[in-house]
Amino acid sequence: MSKMSYSSASMGSGSRTARRTVEFGRTYVVRPKAKHQATIVWLHGLGDNGSSWSQLLDNLPLPNIKWICPTAPTRPVTVLGGFPCAAWFDEGELSEDGPNDVEGLDASIAHIANLLSTEPSDVKLGIGGFSMGAACALYSAACFAQGKYGNGNPYPINLKAVVGLSGWLPGARNLRNKIGGSNEAARRAASLPILLCHGLSDEVVPYTYGERSSQMMSSAGFRYVTFKSYQGLGHYTVPKEMEEVCQWLNARLGA
């Protein structure tokens, strides 16, 4: 249960060189009910908080997993006309060609890495999330493969699983070039299993964005990307989807 702040130099272009401090909200932890084999940081969607997901995750039949559910900083969000709400990064438009808030993304996944850094060495580490949280999880996967954050600093966590529900990959259009130029990045990408789930009736993050992100990650060298679609599912989760998440995590993490 902690509040943390992260200060970084802006990675934007032009005159955006001021430092800004981002204060993260409360972190909720769901302790494992049996032998601790894996820890997953789970990230909520836009305007939500860690509490709501911690309650859902606490009821999943995954007794060997510890869940860490942080709360995003409150920040003005461009797509909401500048209205401030809990968001892992600023989002102006959902588009492969839209600008990415690399500074905000880096700050959030550095916060996630910090939460995972104190876990026991024999515990497998993963990241998952919903919507904007899923976008952050997939961005973490890309940084893991490249071995560095978007700002070039080393990425320190050895990920073993990534789950994204109703999300997308920021910067997907550049991923293939970034990973293809490094044998080590290609090796790391090929080692990381990723599960993506998306509803065909999603009215917030269109299904095609999730599908396209899955295709672009596969073409960039992520060999173990599983993409599941759900007929009639909007921008929310349902028991069937969470059952398949549980089955997938059991198979990948032995949890």
The values of phi and psi at residue 165, to 5°, are -110, 125
Q: Which of 58, 182, 191, 235 is catalytic?
A: 235
Rg (alpha carbons) of the chain, rounded to whole number? 17
From the list 54, 108, 131, 213, the catalytic residue is: 131
Catalytic, 235? Answer yes
Which is the catalytic residue, given 106, 202, 213, 214? Answer: 202
Distance CA 101, CA 38 (A): 30
Which residues touch 172 (CB under 8 Å, ≥6 apart)?
96, 212, 213, 216, 217
Task: State which amino acid sits at residue 134.
Answer: A
Active site residue 202: yes
Q: Answer yes or no: 58 catalytic.
A: no
End-to-end Cα separation, the chain, in angstroms:
24
| Residues noted as catalytic | 131, 202, 235
